[in-house]
Chains A and B, each alone.
Chain A
Amino acid sequence: MNAALAWSDAVAAAQLFAVDPIGTGGVLVRSRAGPVRDRWLAILRGALPPSQPLRHLPLHIADGRLLGGLDLNATLLAGRPVAERGLLAEADGGVLVLAMAERLSPATTVQVTAAMDAHETVVERDGLSLRMPARFGVIALDEGLEDEFAPTALRDRLAFHVDLNEMPLRDADEVEINGEEIVAAQERLPSLKVNDAQIEAISAAAGALGIGSMRAALLAVRVARASAALSGHAVVEQDDMSLAARLVLAPRALVFPQSDKNDQQQPPDPQSEPFEGDDNTDQERPDLDRALDEVILAAVQAALPPDVLAALRASAGRSRGRSQGKAGALQKSNQRGRPAGVRRGELRAGAKLNVIETLRAAAPWQPLRRREAAATGAQPARPRVLIRKDDFRISRFKQRAESTTIFVVDASGSAALHRLAEAKGAVELLLADCYIRRDQVALIAFRGSVAEVLLPPTRSLARAKRSLAGLPGGGGTPLAAGLDAAFALSESVRRKGQTPTIILLTDGRANIARDGGQGRPRAEGDAISAAQQLRAAGITIVLVDTSPRPGALAENFAREMGARYLPLPHADATTLSKAVLASVR
């Protein structure tokens, strides 16, 4: 697809979103900040009626501001609880802009998507219980690189996925949108209907493209209707369906539709939703309007060059569930800890005053204190609420001693030959233990000339297991590179306030130096300097010697890095995992 067409689609998405912001959910704009994105946003702004509120959601918004809660100022002045609208309720009837959507925390995502589903926010906070309408469309600005994506729960609910990363500025023409046309389209929208054959065609197309979620087809139907409204069609026409398929279904496609039966030999992507092939579905819907079906698929195909799909297929498995706002999850549990109640306390440095609880504590005493104040001749009525030192309530946060276990696995030829399978078994058992303690795990493997972080810290053990199972063996032993990678990862784990533990499985026979050069002496020298760096950092390390005859080499090495040395006994993996656990404790 050429850039001009891609741009016209992006503009069409902006217009159709403006016609039905709530029905279509919104637009995911995958693009770095830049002039192209700015131009697209300007077009969108031109399309939206000026009366609609446009609210920006800051990344680390607190729940109270997002959902609404007690308006403290007004509460104090009025002497009764006054509610304050949250951002979601403020966006009602307008548009909510999520900047850096790829960093959105799971907690915030859930609040936004819940409001999108229910068209209202439910507030149960600060002694208030309110329902407020929150009907809005979402513009999610996703600046993610490579495998960083906006949360899947959000992407699923946004009809349009626009990618402007590859868009050259010269093709991104400025477009004037006639606001009156949009308003006229909005008026026509309710009367437009989609017929059964069209629904069948769009569902079939979604199926053929391997799209699992039911929302895609629903959103496509709404987009088709918006398109008909915008073009002034009396009914939803084929053009509208094609455009909807191109804008909504194409960016979600996981499988390239197979029109040629010979091509069906190609194995389907294991990660895509299970879906019956074409031949099966044909029998089940003999009366389906085949022509329409093909038109829609053709529209999608035109929007998708095959090589893009191949890349997509390859990344589909990896991107799934990977993007769930890592930053947010960690921030929540660590930087401020989980709330662990409130206690009476003094306002010392760093203590966080819990205003609501303080007010609650002061509240029952107000009439009494007022009388007292009057008796001593103090000024009446001001301040409205008499707060004493005893009333202060301090929020307490409990820092969960969360730890991340980093497995550093030597997958080189020498290790692979001997014990890689056993080491994998041992790691699996250790993973099970990490699950019980709800630790995070990460996996680094080194072989050939490089070390690779196969799995960044995660709590998903199924993924850890998958990446471990797929770990190939063979090649040189770049031990220094492996240790450097482990060091870098433990530093980043520490920065997040967690405690790293390294479990290193190797035979200690380093033969590749840091610069990738061969030769045992240099490789060993580098490995030892890397080991000393780890010791200096004071990280808990367990070295599991996987060589067939455990001996001085690895043991010496363990000493250099201040690690606990454990020979992998010629026994089952259970023995090893017990031994490791004992030494980590």
Chain B
Amino acid sequence: MAAVFPFSAIVGQDEMKLALLIAAVDPKVGGVLAFGDRGAGKSTAVRALAALLPKMKVVAGCRYNCDPERPAEFCDECGARATKGTLKSVTLPVPVVDLPLGATEDRVVGALDLERALARGEKAFEPGLLARAHRGFLYIDEANLLEDHLVDLLLDVAASGENVVEREGLSIRHPARFVLVGTGNPEEGELRPQLLDRFGLSVEVKTPDDLPSRIEVVRRRDAFESDTVAFITKWAKEETRLRKKITSARDRVPSVTVPNAALERAAKLCITLGTDGLRGELTLMRAARALAALEGEKSVTDDHLRRIAPPALRHRLRRNPLDDAGSSVRVDRAISEVFG
């Protein structure tokens, strides 16, 4: 694995970084979609997040990353083993699994283990990418170019949190809950509305347009490339600090209160914008709570809502496809209307 550019060393792109951190704090917020300019560091940020995430406990030997502390959600294999005795657990990095565009369906959902079938004539299931991404992140670069039949698969699994495989005489189901992270460039095509809706937060990425940050981008990238080890060492402290922030925010999320006033504001905002369904409100609340936890506060305030509303809602507006870049503006307008 090649060295990864540190997350905290990424210049600017505050909205994207915040969205990724929120998704890391509370996976229930749903995934993050980062759409925008070329060469603005979208992929860099996602790869950096993978290196930043705190490690997680996994049942030793489990192929589906089962959580030893949640026996109710065990896969069939862990369930069977748990009845025979206590399971050992190991600490592993949180998986950030790439879903490459050229992937075939069998590798995504899993299929008959070809090697064992050929060599020993055994019928065994070989888990796919969805199994590997369980409790972690599934990353699709250029999500708008993903083939339709793979999108269908993802939609189904992302909705149910479970991967059901019925093929080649195999009948397997296993948990597959992951945070979907997609990046792309809108010039190359749009995302199917159904897939768009699955992303909790949607951020617009722009290349920095002020000179000092542009210089800083080039300078840091150059430093990283010329002496990778030194650069990573230099940023290690900052990375550790950020990692601790995520861990403590995770612990705090359940205790962050959401006052009724905030709930009302959120509902009003969604009504003003005419978002479809309740998903917008739910995401808004969850993201605001994760944001409050990240900043060490005890309850959700207007400020949190105001900051997180654009990424939580801008892709849920009833779309006017001819509107070039109207959604952010519309959200901003609604925010100033509701919050005064």
Give A residues with C-beta under 8 Å from B: 23, 63, 66-67, 70, 75, 79-81, 106-107, 110-111, 114, 117-120, 122-129, 152-153, 156, 190, 193-194, 196, 199-200, 202-204, 206-207, 212-218, 221, 273-276, 281, 284-285, 320-321, 324, 338-341, 356, 359-361, 363-368, 385, 428, 431-432, 435-436, 459-462, 465
Task: Please name all residues of chain A whose beta carbon is closer than 8 Å to the beta carbon of B39 when the two chains form the complex.
Answer: 156, 212-216
Which residue of the partner chain, among B107, B185, B211, contacts A203 with CB atoms under 8 Å? Answer: B211
The reply to whether A107 and B145 contact each other, CB–CB distance below 8 Å, is: yes
Given A284-B210, A364-B169, also A213-B2 (CB < 8 A): no
A85 to chain B, nearest CB (A): 14
Task: Please name all residues of chain A whose beta carbon is closer than 8 Å to the beta carbon of B185 when the two chains form the complex.
Answer: 153
A126–B324 alpha-carbon span in the complex (Å): 40
B119 to chain A, nearest CB (A): 5
CB-nearest residue of chain A to B110: A127
A368–B126 alpha-carbon span in the complex (Å): 22
Given A119-B2, A321-B188, also A461-B107 (CB < 8 A): no
The reply to whether A194 and B222 contact each other, CB–CB distance below 8 Å, is: yes
A-B contact count (CB 8 A): 202
Task: Please name all residues of chain A whose beta carbon is closer than 8 Å to the beta carbon of B107 when the two chains form the complex.
Answer: 124-129
CB-nearest residue of chain B to A207: B211
The reply to whether B38 and A156 contact each other, CB–CB distance below 8 Å, is: yes
The reply to whether B114 and A127 contact each other, CB–CB distance below 8 Å, is: yes
Task: Please name all residues of chain A whose beta carbon is closer than 8 Å to the beta carbon of B147 when the two chains form the complex.
Answer: 338-339
B229 to chain A, nearest CB (A): 13
Which residue of the partner chain, among A23, A207, A321, A368, contacts B187 with CB atoms under 8 Å? Answer: A321
A122–B214 alpha-carbon span in the complex (Å): 31
CB-nearest residue of chain A to B192: A438
The reply to whether A120 and B112 contact each other, CB–CB distance below 8 Å, is: no
B117 at the interface (CB under 8 A from A): yes
A73–B163 alpha-carbon span in the complex (Å): 32
Task: Please name all residues of chain A whose beta carbon is closer than 8 Å to the beta carbon of B126 when the two chains form the complex.
Answer: 127
Task: Please name all residues of chain A whose beta carbon is closer than 8 Å to the beta carbon of B120 when the two chains form the complex.
Answer: 367
Q: Please give the number of chain B residues whose Cβ is less than 8 angstroms from any Cβ of chain A in the complex.
A: 65
Q: List 7 A-B contacts (CB under 8 A).
A: A110-B141, A124-B129, A127-B111, A127-B113, A127-B115, A215-B38, A218-B218
The reply to whether A153 and B188 contact each other, CB–CB distance below 8 Å, is: yes
CB-nearest residue of chain B to A464: B322
Given A124-B104, A462-B322, also A80-B115 (CB < 8 A): yes
B193 to chain A, nearest CB (A): 9
B270 to chain A, nearest CB (A): 23
A366–B111 alpha-carbon span in the complex (Å): 18
The reply to whether B145 and A110 contact each other, CB–CB distance below 8 Å, is: yes
The reply to whether A127 and B106 contact each other, CB–CB distance below 8 Å, is: yes
10 smallest CB-CB distances across A and B, nearest first, come from: A363-B117, A367-B121, A321-B187, A213-B39, A435-B321, A215-B39, A63-B102, A124-B107, A124-B103, A127-B114
B226 at the interface (CB under 8 A from A): yes
The reply to whether A276 and B211 contact each other, CB–CB distance below 8 Å, is: yes
The reply to whether B322 and A202 contact each other, CB–CB distance below 8 Å, is: no
Task: Please name all residues of chain B whose beta carbon is closer than 8 Å to the beta carbon of A119 when the two chains form the complex.
Answer: 2
Task: Please name all residues of chain B whose beta carbon is closer than 8 Å to the beta carbon of A460 when the two chains form the complex.
Answer: 187
Which residue of the partner chain, among B2, B38, B105, B210, contacts A118 with CB atoms under 8 Å? Answer: B2
Given A124-B107, A432-B322, also A221-B214 (CB < 8 A): no
B81 to chain A, nearest CB (A): 25
B175 at the interface (CB under 8 A from A): no
A79–B320 alpha-carbon span in the complex (Å): 56
CB-nearest residue of chain A to B114: A127
Task: Please name all residues of chain B whose beta carbon is closer than 8 Å to the beta carbon of A152 when the two chains form the complex.
Answer: 38, 187
